[in-house]
Amino acid sequence: MSYEENVRKVTPYTPGEQPTGKVIKLNTNESPYPPAPEVYKALEGLNIEELRKYPDPVCMELVSALASYYGLDEDEVFVGVGSDDVLSMCFLTFFNGKDPILFPDITYSFYDVWAEVYDIPYKTIPLKEDFSIDPSDYRNEKNGGIVIANPNAPTGVIEDLTVIEDIISHNPDVCVIIDEAYVDFGGVTALPLLKKYENVIVVRTMSKSRSLAGMRIGYAFGNKKAIKYLNDVKFSVNSYTMNMPSLKAGAAAIRDDAYFRETVSKIIATREWTKEQLKDLGFTFRDSATNFIFASHEGVLLGESREELARRIFETLKSRNIFVRYFEKPRIDGYLRISIGTDEEMRIFIETLKEIIMR
């Protein structure tokens, strides 16, 4: 027998590339804009001497800023090291049943990884042909919990709150997690449902709409009892997940609401411009409520299949230092996921794309 028999073997999540040097980076849905001026002030004013102490284990400065911004009580808010940490804690806390947890076949590709690493049985529910959810698929399916990203990634598709509520109301005995990583770009939030249902957790991040991917700040909203359960698990794994600079930067980002609104609306305007350009080039996509567009090109005129063309565009763009995301997976291998950059970046991207398509 070897020690390896007792090793937990997992296939990890593959994050998008983080190339160095001067590139146009449209592959991991980061904001193209710097963090808010208030965040600069907070970090420049850090008292380094304070770092000798442990950070506040209950993260009150950040929790309290979030609670007052979203009109909740402090004990209805949980924070973590990016929403990946928050979601992982949610899986560990709420998904302990024997029945499989459910999520769509095309969604954030970390869900199945957490299910695997925590030994949680899971079952994927196919999205419809147009990448939307049929809520009736979640009505009579015995399960141990549900995770829905709304708007969804990598499709960018948004579901009405009626669909989300249908899923929550038909599954009162399990926890339903709504991952709202992209909600600030045009989604509808399930936040109002917290008052109506006790089995909902809403998860958010500062990585995309608040330009803080490098700081690692995520958060969740839920009823007091559910948040207590989450904190109990967190304090059983690591009491100090959030470091002092993140707590300060996160609170500062929330304070600077004007900057947040300004950058989000710039990204939305650039997205709408990019959609028009992509349409003119013959790309098709579902309307996007996010900071990315998930697009496909029929390729017939070029004598290539959708998949061949998507792959060729991805590779050619990369050779010209423009990074987008390509997923080699069933149903979506004919698509490119293009994050929205600055106007200038998108102009260069579209020009380059034109050359590739018209070769």
Ligand X SMILES: *Cc1c(COP(=O)(O)O)cnc(C)c1O
> Binding ligand X by CB under 6 A: which of 35, 55, 82, 186?
82
Q: In this structure, what token pair is assigned to residue 150? A: 């709304």
> Binding ligand X by CB under 6 A: which of 38, 84, 159, 256?
84
The DSSP letter of residue 175 is -
> Contact region for ligand X (CB under 6 A) — 56-64, 155-163, 205-213, 226-234?
205-213
> Binding ligand X by CB under 6 A: which of 38, 112, 165, 179?
179
> Which residue in 85, 336, 345 sits closest to 233, CA to CA?
85
The DSSP line for 92-141 is HHH--SSSPEEEESSS-TTHHHHHHHTT--EEEEPPPTTS---GGGGTS-
Shortest CB 181 distance to ligand X, Å = 4
CA distance 312 to 316: 6
Contact 106, 250 (CB under 8 A): no
Q: Tell me: does residue 158 bind ligand X (CB under 6 A).
A: no
> Contact region for ligand X (CB under 6 A) — 77-85, 118-126, 129-137, 138-146?
77-85
Q: For residue 221, which phi and psi values (nearest 5 degrees)?
A: -115, 140
Contact 265, 185 (CB under 8 A): no
Which residues is 149 bridged to in the sheet?
179
The DSSP letter of residue 345 is H
Site for ligand X in 102-121 (CB under 6 A): 108
Shortest CB 152 distance to ligand X, Å = 8
Total Cβ atoms within 10 A of residue 358:
9
> Contact region for ligand X (CB under 6 A) — 53-61, 78-86, 92-100, 157-165?
78-86
Q: Tell me: does residue 246 bind ligand X (CB under 6 A).
A: no
The DSSP letter of residue 339 is E
Q: Give how many residues touch ligand X by CB under 6 A.
A: 13
Shortest CB 212 distance to ligand X, Å = 9
308-329 burial code (b ≥16 CB/10 A, e <16): ebbbbbbeebbeeebbbbbbee
Q: Looking at beta carbons only, is 78 or 309 nearer to ligand X?
A: 78
Q: Looking at beta carbons only, is 108 or 229 nearer to ligand X?
A: 108
Site for ligand X in 217-236 (CB under 6 A): 218
Q: Tell me: does residue 211 bind ligand X (CB under 6 A).
A: no
Total Cβ atoms within 10 A of residue 270:
20
Q: Tell me: does residue 215 bind ligand X (CB under 6 A).
A: no
Q: Looking at beta carbons only, is 116 or 307 nearer to ligand X?
A: 116
Interface residues toward ligand X, by CB under 6 A: 29, 82-84, 108, 149, 153, 179, 181, 205, 207, 213, 218
